[in-house]
Structure 1
Amino acid sequence: MSQATKRKHVVKEVLGDFVVPGENQQIVKVTGSRGNNLHETVTAQGETFLVSMPTKFRKNIWIKRGDYVIVDPIEEGEKVKAEISSILYKDHIVYLQEHHLWPEGFVIENKPGQQKDEENNTEEKDQEEASASDNEDDLFVNTNRCTYQYSESEDDEDSDVQSEEDTK
């Protein structure tokens, strides 16, 4: 099987299948990468340990800090106590929450009931950003270009007003 075909099947499996954790499996949150395909995770109870990424996911699927995965325990592991069996994306998490299989220790910000609150918050943020957009101090400055100072002198405006008054 070619590398492209293998990648296609692995990605299809990860994105398409809604996996339910088995009897020995558990859902954990990735807190960081330790290199060499090892990731530090935390359980819903707060226990931290290392998990390894299986060969089929390497160079095909990437995970980052904050992602959720389902792991299989490794009996002989001292530091590395589990191996990743599947990676959970937003759709998978919603599916698990609907079936009441999501651990109580993990709280997700994007619950269906909170969408209205988020819409209200986004309107307030938009208003704040609109008032903050008047200030141009935070704009990107390209240091590779010459900067020009444009200023209108008040003296020119005052002289124009005075000359109009003199003509009357």
Structure 2
Amino acid sequence: MGRPKRDVRAVAEATTTPPDQLAPSQSLARVVKAEGSNHYACALPDQRSVLVELPARFRNTIWVRRGGYVLVELIPSDARNGKVEGEIVNVVRDEKAWRKQSYWPAAFPLSPYEDSEDEDSTVGKMPPSYSDDEN
């Protein structure tokens, strides 16, 4: 039996809106790799790599993809058990709204998948064709 729709909607709505401010132990991170068993390798703005766990309320509800952003709560080093260094508190779904917040780190540039006005970009374009006249 699946989860009730009200639970799914509540989790989806919670991930859409960014918080007003972050706690001292929280940080934004970019997902680098899915490690399995609901563990993800993430890169913090200071280029440090951490292993974080996805809590049960997000599992099978919100999908975390490589290159996406998550809000991570880091566990102090004296309270850690094993390799897991933190827990995912929120998943960034509306990246534009999150980027407008004052706590968004400058170390995370715009993703290449986001629409941009840069005409020199070759993302999603066909490679140049070769002319038959050059033979």
Q: TM-score, normalised by structure 1?
A: 0.61
95, 110, 134: which one aligns with 2:100: 95
2-side partners of 1:92 and 1:59: how far apart?
24
Shift of 1:21: 2.2
Unaligned 5+ segments in structure 1 are 136-168
Percent of residue pairs identical: 20
Q: Greater relative contact order: 1 or 2 (C-alpha under 8 angstroms, separation 6 or more)?
A: 2
SS at match of 2:7: helix
4+ residue stretches of structure 1 with deviation over 6 A? none
1:46-76: CA deviation from partner (whole Å, max 9, x where unpaired): 1111100111101100011101111111232
74, 83, 87: which one aligns with 1:83: 87
User: Which amino acid counterpart does residue 81 of structure 1 have in structure 2?
Assistant: E
1-side partners of 2:29 and 2:128: how far apart?
41
Q: TM-score, normalised by structure 2?
A: 0.74
RMSD: 3.0
1-side partners of 2:110 and 2:49: how far apart?
19
The residue aligned with 2:56 is 55
Greater helix share, structure number: 1
The residue aligned with 1:29 is 30
Contact kept in structure 1, 2:39 and 2:51, CA below 8 Å: yes
Contact kept in structure 2, 1:21 and 1:70, CA below 8 Å: no
How many correspondences in the alignment?
123
State the structure with more CA Rg: 1
Shift of 1:109: 4.7
Unaligned 5+ segments in structure 2 are none
